[in-house]
Amino acid sequence: MHGFRAVETAAYCPRKLYYRRQSPDEIVIPDEVEQRRELAFRYEQLLADEELVAEAPLEVTPTQFRSRLGCVKARMPEWEQLIDPADRDTYLRGRECHGIAHKLLDTAEPSLSLVFAGEPPETGVWKPQSVKLIAAAKALSWELNQEVPFVFAEYPAYGVIRRVPVDARRTADYREAVRTADSIDGPPARITNRSKCNHCEFAGQCGVKTRSVRSLLGD
């Protein structure tokens, strides 16, 4: 049984998952991340209150934030469920994975949302986040014995909410990440996409030169 975060990490870099498992340190969620996630539970207040939105920990201007969320509100049929979820921070335990769903939605078909503190891609969601979303969708489906056809990814600091289908491609990526997480019994090879290493807390241990170190050395 893997945590949602473990399969997300397996999809990001198997070696990183290995280091995380070896680390005696508990994962501590930074206050900044908590504050950004909390924005996802205050959309209506933020849309209504200019002072509140001006003080919020956003990564876009208040105007961009309100314009983006205004579009979501106008176009996404599940808006009401997203701003008033049936439950929040709910523990789910599936066949292969377990973890916390940030929102459970009372939609016609069961659904959920995960809230991400970082920046969204231009379209869709980042692959490791897609794997995490599908892990949560499969766990909810297992608990309810019902299909979960789509889920939501929220990037509240950017005013972005995306509907994510639980389709064959995403499910295949999820299954591959589960197999990877199952199979790690020693340090896997380093990934070739070194831009990911710049954001990895194990870069020093891994022996990878991050961009900042390289630039310090004039490389």
Q: CB count, 10 Å around CB of 159?
A: 27
Beta carbons of 116 and 22 less than 8 angstroms apart? no
Of residues 171 and 210, the one with the C-beta less far from ligand SF4:
210
Least distance in angstroms from the C-beta of 11 to ligand SF4:
12
Least distance in angstroms from the C-beta of 194 to ligand SF4:
7
The CA-based dihedral angle spanning residues 54, 123, 162, 150, taken in that order and rounded to the nearest 10 degrees: -170
Which sign, positive or negative, has the C-alpha torsion 48, 68, 42, 140? positive
Of residues 16 and 98, the one with the C-beta less far from ligand SF4:
16
Q: Residue 152: phi, psi to the nearest 5?
A: -130, 145
Which sign, positive or negative, has the C-alpha torsion 204, 207, 210, 214? positive
Least distance in angstroms from the C-beta of 146 to ligand SF4:
36
Of residues 42 and 190, the one with the C-beta less far from ligand SF4:
190
Least distance in angstroms from the C-beta of 174 to ligand SF4:
20
Q: Which residues contact ligand SF4 (rule: CB under 6 A)?
A: 13, 15-16, 19, 190-191, 196-197, 200, 202-203, 206, 208
Least distance in angstroms from the C-beta of 3 to ligand SF4:
18
Of residues 68 and 209, the one with the C-beta less far from ligand SF4:
209
Rounded to whole angstroms, the Cα distance separating 95 from 172 reads: 16
Of residues 42 and 196, the one with the C-beta less far from ligand SF4:
196
Beta carbons of 82 and 69 less than 8 angstroms apart? no
Q: Residue 105: phi, psi to the nearest 5?
A: -110, 140
